[in-house]
Each structure stands twice: as C-alpha cells, then as structure tokens.
Amino acid sequence: MIPKLPDRPPNQALADALVPDRPAKGRGAVSNRTGRYEAQERVAVADGWEQAPAPAAAEDDPAPSPRTTVSLDTTRTIIARNDSPDIPFDRSINPYRGCEHGCVYCFARPTHAYLGLSPGLDFETKLLMKPDAAKLLERELRNPRYRCDVMAMGTNTDPYQPVEREHRITRQILEVLNAFNHPVGIVTKSALVMRDIDILSDMARRNLASVGVSVTSLDRDLARVMEPRASTPPRRLAAIAALAAAGIPTSVMVAPIIPALNDSEIERILAAATAAGARSADYVLLRLPLEIKGLFEEWLETHAPLKAKRVLDLVRETRGGQLYDATFGKRMTGTGPFAQLIRNRFKLASRKLGLDRRKLNLDVTKFRAPPGVGDQLSLGL
C-alpha cells in the first residue's frame, strides 16, 4: 500500500510546487481532500506547463465553481436503521447521497469516503440520487414483519437540496408515507419544503408529520459562505411561517452552534423563529468528526482568519481538549464550562419564548397498508 502524503510536504521543492487551494464560488469546502480509505493522496502541483492566469484575476479571487453531477444510486433498500442511544429515531430515509447545499461543517461529509470520493468538494458536487426510493419504500412497508415508528428525513443529507426541484424524490416518498398513514419527521435548511405543504398539512391533521427548519445564522454574509447553496435566512423563516400557518408542527434547529462564530445569535434566532410560528427548538454544538476537522480549519483560515484560532480553541474546550469527542450523550452538546454556558443560554431563551414545551409525539397507531394492485378488497365484515 502506498502511504498518503504527510500533512506537510516532505521537501521544499514539492512545497513550492503545490498549487494552493482557493475557495470556489458557490461552494463550501475549500479543497477536495482525498478520502480516508484511499491508498494514495492526489495533490495539484505546478509543473511549469500550466496556462498563465488572466491579468485581471487575483490570487484570492474565487475559483470557478465545479459543475454538479448527479449519478444513479442503485440501492436495493431505502430505510436506514440506527441504534444510537442519543438519537430519538431508529430509522431514516435519505433520497440523495452528498448535498449541494455545501455546508462546510456537515457531519455527513465523511460518508462520501465510502464511495471512493472526497468529503470536500466531491460531497457537494458529485451527488447520487435514488430514483426508485418510493417503490423501495412501499415494498418495505408492505412487509408483514414491518413495525411502524417515526420515519426521519434530513438526518444525513437534506431531502430538499436544489436537485430535488427536478427529481422530486422526496415528494414521491411523502406520497407513499401519506398513503400508508406513516408518521414522518423532517429536518431541512431549504424553503423548498413549502412545495409539499399540501401533503404535509394533510398528514399533520392526522398527527403524522412535523418539520424542523435549521437556522444557523441570521447574518446573510456568514450564511452565504458557510452554507452557500442553502436557502437564505429570511427564506427559512418564511418557510417556518408558511408551515406553521398550514397547521404543520414546526420547530427551529439552531444547528450547529459554532463558538465565537454564531453563538452570539442564539437568542436572536430563537426570537425570530418564534415570531414566525415555531413551536419548539433544539440545537447541536459543532461536530467535527474525521475529515471535517481539516475541511473546517481550511474554511476558517480562508473566510475568518482573524477568528480561526479563537474558534478552534473554544471547540477544543467543549470537546475535552480535542476537536471532537464522539462519545454518545456528549457529541451533540459537548462538555466543559463553555458548553454548559451554551446549554444554559439556549434553555433560558427557549423557556422565555415558550419553545421548551414537550416534544410532539406523532401517531404510530394509524399505520395501514393500502390495497395494492390486484389485492382482494375487504368485505368490511
């Protein structure tokens, strides 16, 4: 096995030849770091044959945005299971692998390494879709051994990312869940969720649907570089308002809270979401597992260099001196004085705004498989 290159180039000649990474317009990750399972690491070097840059282009100008490509995922099952003790659901559906929103901190980025792709720019530009998701779901729900519980969507990649406008896989999944009276809980950063208010409101009337909208910052400039292709903060608040007005139980997710970057906005975000109609709130402290550590450090040095050291020092303070601690029960909220301060501020603001009410329990008792093609109808006796 050929080892990867060390973090620092082994000699000055290579160091001088390396082509520096530049942020790409409309993308979150600065680089395309090789995934952890690859035997070799690829780096760009200048060999003297490259074309000279245009005179008007400066070194710190954004690089051209890589084109998004969408491939087929031929998975044979669609419901993913988990037994994590600190996650309030045991099943989920992800219509897409990778996410074009490009959120630099996304904890799903390392999953792209399983595909032989980079958790960096590949994660947000080389997507995979599951066009047979609705058919697979119906087949799994019709299995006599299936036992209903709340289906989670948006727990890994966003079901309403931009490619959903064209492919509509999330909507097809909701149509199946609606037909089976199957409860669903959705988390998204996209105002596109408003497209499906007709289905979600119908389900909500039977206590079968809830939506959480993630609002990370009210600062449009920060949101633009941190979550470049997600809906703007005003559009997310508009989504909360539209969902709530349609009778759909809607919560706000302040996720992630990043020390010294957006933690000062906690109270303002909660107040704005309450005014829009949110009924409850939750938060997650910044998580930096696996390759995300390096990607986030690169992003900080590029977009917030004067804050970078302070942010990382506080992250370590909340993670026992490391950049991440994956211990169940601690990974979502962290530990230590600063993490406790975040926890106290969030709880106090939520209590004042009435967002600390008991979480909604969706109804799992209504689940029924509708008649399939060729099924004999019941005599109703």
Q: Is 369 within a domain? A: no
What pLDDT digit, counting tens, does each position of 105-139 carry? 999 999 999 899 999 999 999 999 999 999 999 99
Query: And the tokens for 170?
Result: 């999330």
pLDDT at residue 272 in the model: 98
**In this structure, are residues 38 and 1 in contact, taking their beta carbons and an 8 Å threshold?**
no
**In this structure, are residues 81 and 93 in contact, taking their beta carbons and an 8 Å threshold?**
no
Residue 218, classed as helix, strand or coil, is coil
pLDDT at residue 19 in the model: 46
Question: What's the domain count of the chain?
Answer: 1
Q: What DSSP state is assigned to residue 18? A: B
pLDDT at residue 219 in the model: 97
Q: Is the peptide bond before 55 cis (omega within 30 degrees of 0)?
A: no
The neighbour count for residue 360, using CB atoms within 10 Å, is 18
pLDDT at residue 311 in the model: 97
Q: Is 259 within a domain? A: yes
Query: What range defines the domain where residue 266 resides?
Result: 12-45+67-353
Q: Which residue has the tokens 């390096």?
A: 294
Query: And the tokens for 73?
Result: 């995922």
Q: Is 287 within a domain? A: yes
Backbone Cα Rg of the chain: 22
pLDDT at residue 87 in the model: 86
The neighbour count for residue 56, using CB atoms within 10 Å, is 6
**In this structure, are residues 31 and 298 in contact, taking their beta carbons and an 8 Å threshold?**
yes
pLDDT at residue 62 in the model: 63
pLDDT at residue 59 in the model: 53
Query: And the tokens for 127?
Result: 């997507």
Q: Is 194 within a domain? A: yes
For 263-266, the CB contacts below 8 A with 24+ separation are 263/342, 265/217, 265/218, 265/219, 266/342, 266/345, 266/346, 266/349
Local mean pLDDT, 10-residue blocks, the chain (381 residues): 47 49 83 75 57 53 80 93 88 96 95 92 96 97 96 95 97 98 98 98 98 97 96 98 98 96 98 97 95 95 96 97 93 95 97 86 95 63 46
What pLDDT digit, counting tens, does each position of 64-93 carry? 778 999 999 989 999 999 988 888 889 999
Q: Is 368 within a domain? A: no
Q: Is 202 within a domain? A: yes
Percent of the chain with pLDDT over 70: 85
**Which residue type does 215 have?**
V
Q: Let me know if 183 is exposed, middle or buried by CB neighbors in 10 A (0-12, 13-18, 19+).
A: buried
Query: And the tokens for 153?
Result: 């969507």
Q: Which of 101, 103, 108 is nearest to 155 (CA)?
A: 108
Q: Is 59 within a domain? A: no
Q: What is the pTM of this model?
A: 0.87
Spacing of C-alpha 365 from chain mean position = 30
Q: Which of 5, 21, 100, 42 is nearest to 299 (CA)?
A: 21
Q: Is 206 within a domain? A: yes
Sequence length of the chain is: 381
Q: Let me know if 353 is exposed, middle or buried by CB neighbors in 10 A (0-12, 13-18, 19+).
A: middle
Q: Do strands 280-285 and 250-257 pair parallel, antiparallel, or not at all (unpaired)?
A: parallel
Q: What is the largest CA-CA distance in the chain?
A: 84
| Cα dihedral value 88, 92, 97, 98, nearest 10 | -20
Distance CA 274, CA 263 (A): 18
pLDDT at residue 146 in the model: 97
Looking up residue 298, the CATH number of its domain turns out to be 3.80.30.30
